[in-house]
Amino acid sequence: MRLRDAVRMPSVVRRRSHRASPRVDPDLAGRVHSELAADLPDEDLSEYLYDCIDMYRMGSKPRCEEVEYLGMVQEAIDRIEAGR
């Protein structure tokens, strides 16, 4: 796939270049990460969920699975950042 053929999904993923904030509760982050791993048992989730998005290669899954996967990872990141 050429770069110009890449699918853009800005409403699903908000790219960030930083790691989790130091104010993040590590217990909450671990719990959310565990819940995500249970929901996505076939995925190899990195310790840092930002890496799951940053390293993801678009087109490596069927589109519906891709949107669902990226949405679930982004939702987990948002939950951790919001502290819920």
Of the two residues 38 and 3, the one the predictor is more confident about is: 38
Tell me what the mean pLDDT of segment 34-62 comes to.
90
| Largest distance between two CA atoms of the chain | 41
Examine the pLDDT at 20 and tell me if it is beyond 50. Answer: no
pTM: 0.69
**pLDDT score for 21:** 52
CA 70 and chain centroid, separation: 5
H helices present in 8-56, as ranges: 26-39, 49-54
Tokens 């950042």 correspond to 81
- What is d(CA 49, CA 32) in angstroms, rounded to the nearest whole number? 10
- What is d(CA 74, CA 77) in angstroms, rounded to the nearest whole number? 5
With a pLDDT cut of 70, the percent of the chain lying above it is 74
| 36 and 45 Cβ atoms separated by less than 8 Å | yes
- What letter does residue 13 receive in the DSSP assignment? -
